[in-house]
Structure formats: C-alpha cells, structure tokens
Structure 1
Amino acid sequence: MICYEHPLNERIRTLLRLEDLFDRMAFFSARDEAVEHHSALVTLFEILDVTSRADMKSELLQELERQKQALETLRKSPDISEDALNEVLSNIQAASHSMLNMTGKIGEHMREDEWLMGIKQRMGIPGGACEFDLPSYHYWLHLDPALRRNNLNEWLAPLLPLEEGIGIVLNLLRRSGKTFSHTAHRGVFQQMGSGRVAHMLCLKVDESLPCVPEISANKYAISIRFVIFGSRQKTRIYEEDVKFELTFCNL
C-alpha cells in the first residue's frame, strides 16, 4: 500500500513540509559527498524560510499543551495503558521544555552569519552557487566530510526542538483517526461530510495500481478521483473500480 496524506488546513500543511525537510536534511548531512552536503545546506535554508513565521514556536507550544491536557483526561480510562500514556506525556513535556529554552528568533544564529546568508542569497539564483560565484563555499565543499558534517549539525542543532515538537504532534494526529474501507467506482468517490472538518486525510491504495488520487475536501463533502499516472494528454480518470482505505485524522 502507498499512503497519501492530504492536510486540510495551513497549520498541518506547514508541519508536514517541515517534517519532510528535516528528514531530507538528516539524510543528506549523514553522507560524505560534497554534492550531498550542498543538498543538505539547500534544505537547511528551506527549513529557515518555512520557520520564519513569528508565531511558529508559540503555536507549536500551544498545541503540545492542548494535547497534554487532552491526554490527562484519559488517565482514568480502563482502555488506556498507564505506561504508554506516561511515556507520551513525558515526551511532550521534554519537547515543550526544549522549545521554551530556544532563545531569540528561530534561525537567528544563521541569519546573523554573513557567510551563510551570502550563500543563501546566491542559491536563490539558478546555478548561482557555482565555484566562480562563491569561492569560499567551493573551499568549504572541499574540506574533510567530517568537518562539513560538524558544521551542518551545528547550524541545525538550534532548530531540533522544533523537529521534536512537530514529530510528536504529527504522530498523535496520525494515530487519532479511524480507518474505513471504500471503493471508488470507475475511479470516482464522493461522500457527504458530517459538518466537522478533519485536520488531515490519509488515503491508502494498492501501489501496483497505475493511478494517483486527487483529493478535494471540506466539512460538507469529500471528492476523490483517481487519475492515470503519467498521462501526457489531458488528465484522464482511471475507469476501473479502486479499493482504498481512508482515515480521518483530528487533533
């Protein structure tokens, strides 16, 4: 099965983007090649741009606190594992503490580095990070991989509390919903909404099928159509019945 996650508000959309960027950063920075560390730095600059919103940290802290209070109300439920609940609450507490200890604006340590900001500015130009444009960056890319990796980890470290908090919120979101099995007849599925807006939809479909879901949803209705992958012509509906699983996730 291949899973398609479809965020239904801007807040969840931003968290999913950051999760993807942090994963990509971890992947490239762990490698040794100069071109891979270049990709890591490009990704780090993307993280910096996405987290530039002034309310990013406060919104995440508020969400963690809201989840903490919601989970505390489950403590007396006989269906809840006390140990599992305590572990999640401990993780939330640790993440909140780390974020509260973040000083200054998010990414301020990078924005105050003229060398990094000079590279970031050039990277905004297609092909702008060539060696003749940035000789000092070209020199950095020829340093020992371990030294470059230490630099990357040093620049990333002040942002890691955000990654921890995002991971907790998205994990709770993904585990919150109930999954239902449906069939898109001749590639199309529609369902009237319950009047309540979910935060995210998770759709799972057999990865061997040559089609991709296009999802449109609000609190009144959900519309999913499966289109043929790779069609060079106008978008074409996959005109076979498609069985899939759909999960409504809410915080």
Structure 2
Amino acid sequence: MNKISYEFPLNEKCRTYLRVDNLFAQMQANLAMAETGQSLAFFKALFDFMELAERCDIRGDLSKDMERLRLKMQGWRELPGVDIPKLDALCADLQQQAYLLPRSARPGSRFKEDKFLGALRQRFVIPGGLCPFDVPIFPLWLAQPQAWRQAQAETWLGELKLLQTANSLLLDLWREQGSFQTVTAKCAFYQDAAEGCELLRLTLDAELGCYPTVSGHRSRFAIRFLPLADQRLGDISFELARC
C-alpha cells in the first residue's frame, strides 16, 4: 500500500525546527540548478529560511535543546543494554554543536552583503516580480554555465552547514526516541497523553482518502481525520509514534 507520513510539532520550537528541516530539504533537492524551475525553487526556499531566521533565535533555541537532550541521554548510561560508546559519541556531538552554535554568525547574515541575492529577494515577494525588466541580472545569472551556478548555490548552502547539521541531529534523535504503534481513531478521532514529547509521527494508507489534523501541546493531543472528498469516515487505523 501507498503510505503517507506526517510529523506534527507539539511546541513552537519544534515547529520551527521542522520548517527549517523542510527548507533545507528543498534547497538540497534543487541544488543541481539544471533547470530554471530548480533555481526558482532553491531561491524560494533560501529566502523563506532567511525570513524565518530573522524572526527568531534558532541558534540559541537549538543550543539549549541540544544541551537538554545531552543531559537526558547521560541518564541512560545505567539502563540495561545501552551501547555506551555510541551514547558517549552522540553526547559528545551534541555538546560540540551546542557550544559552536551560539558562537557562530547569525544564519544568513552574510547573505545581506550579496548584491545579487539582495536584488533577487526584494523582487521575489512581488507577484510576477521576477520579470526580466524587474531583475535584469537574473536572466544573466541563469545564462551562466550550470556548474558555475551550482557552485554558487553550494557556497550559499555551505554558509548554513553548521545550523543544518545541528537541526538534523536534534530532530533525528527526537525521532528515534519514539516507536510506532498501530492505533485506531474511533469515528476518525483519537486523543491521548504526550507528556514530555516534542513531536508526533503518523503513518497511514493513502487509500483511506483522509488526512490528519492535530491540536494539543506537550501534555495532551487530539487527532481528527478529515476526508479528501465528501464522505463519511468511520474508524481509522494508523501508526503513531510519540517522540
């Protein structure tokens, strides 16, 4: 069966981390710059990230959450069956990232000095603002060899490598703390406790023709399934992980 996976944050910081993760995935997927559409998608994700980074202190939040997770993982040393060398390596990685992040440059701050990115970003938010008469430098940039354009994109993405690595590490470790269990939403509704959880992960069959909406916070959550078409939903079986 065709499975669809969802991730829902249970707090505002996790929501930001998931958005950052999604934007990095978009930039990475369009890094080749093989077509104009890929270039547009890359810049859209890059500028969305810059907008997000200007609204909050991603570095500080990540650093605090990584240190909090490191201390939590240190308490796992006494648990039976724990791989101590792997645990120590992960804790050391978390400690290093938590130390480096606050001492690094604000994500995207150097991009403001780039005249090309500045000119493009100003017009990106205007409907149809990327016409050649609006940004004549953009067609010239697109006309350059693909290898040259890709190298520039890799340089821009490289400026964000530290944040990307830290964000991915934290989310991956959160995800690994939850295991999937098959549960049933009675009459398309499910609720349960989520004490100490950061996010929920859901997997369900696309053939069911419905999608989940989640409300809640760290202590409790509710999931309601809505139909794609006009239909009445009964009991919905899906896989759920509390992370």
TM-score (norm 2): 0.89
Task: Provide the C-alpha distance between the structure 2 equivalents of 1:45 and 1:244, rounded to a whole number of angstroms.
Answer: 36
Shift of 1:39: 1.6
Equivalent pairs counted in the alignment come to: 241
Shift of 1:78: 2.9
Shift of 1:64: 1.5
Task: Provide the C-alpha distance between the structure 1 equivalents of 2:73 and 2:219, rounded to a whole number of angstroms.
Answer: 29
**Equivalent residues in 2 for 1:1-251, closer than 5 Å:** 1-53=3-55, 55-96=57-98, 98-100=100-102, 102-103=104-105, 105-191=106-192, 193=193, 196=195, 198-218=197-217, 221-231=220-230, 237-238=232-233, 240-249=234-243
Inter-CA distance 73–225: structure 2 relative to 1 (3 Å threshold) = closer
> In structure 2, the residue corresponding to 1:64 is in which secondary structure?
helix
In 2, are the aligned partners of 1:106 and 1:159 still within 8 Å (CA)? yes
Inter-CA distance 219–123: structure 2 relative to 1 (3 Å threshold) = closer
Shift of 1:224: 2.2
Corresponding letter in the other structure for 1:70: K
Shift of 1:46: 0.9
Inter-CA distance 69–198: structure 2 relative to 1 (3 Å threshold) = closer
Inter-CA distance 85–50: structure 2 relative to 1 (3 Å threshold) = same
In 2, are the aligned partners of 1:225 and 1:237 still within 8 Å (CA)? no
TM-score (norm 1): 0.86
Q: Deviations over 1:129-178 (max 9, x none)?
A: 11121111110011001111111111221211111111111111111224
Task: Provide the C-alpha distance between the structure 2 equivalents of 1:230 and 1:112, rounded to a whole number of angstroms.
Answer: 48
Where structure 1 has 5 or more consecutive residues not aligned to the other structure, the ranges are none
Inter-CA distance 98–153: structure 2 relative to 1 (3 Å threshold) = farther
Shift of 1:92: 2.1
In 2, are the aligned partners of 1:102 and 1:158 still within 8 Å (CA)? no
> In structure 1, the residue corresponding to 2:120 is in which secondary structure?
helix
Inter-CA distance 10–219: structure 2 relative to 1 (3 Å threshold) = closer
In 2, are the aligned partners of 1:41 and 1:152 still within 8 Å (CA)? no
Task: Provide the C-alpha distance between the structure 2 equivalents of 1:137 and 1:22, rounded to a whole number of angstroms.
Answer: 22
Task: Provide the C-alpha distance between the structure 2 equivalents of 1:99 and 1:219, rounded to a whole number of angstroms.
Answer: 26
Shift of 1:220: 6.4
Task: Provide the C-alpha distance between the structure 2 equivalents of 1:206 and 1:155, rounded to a whole number of angstroms.
Answer: 38
Task: Provide the C-alpha distance between the structure 1 equivalents of 2:221 and 2:207, rounded to a whole number of angstroms.
Answer: 24
Corresponding letter in the other structure for 1:51: A
Corresponding letter in the other structure for 1:73: G
Shift of 1:20: 0.4
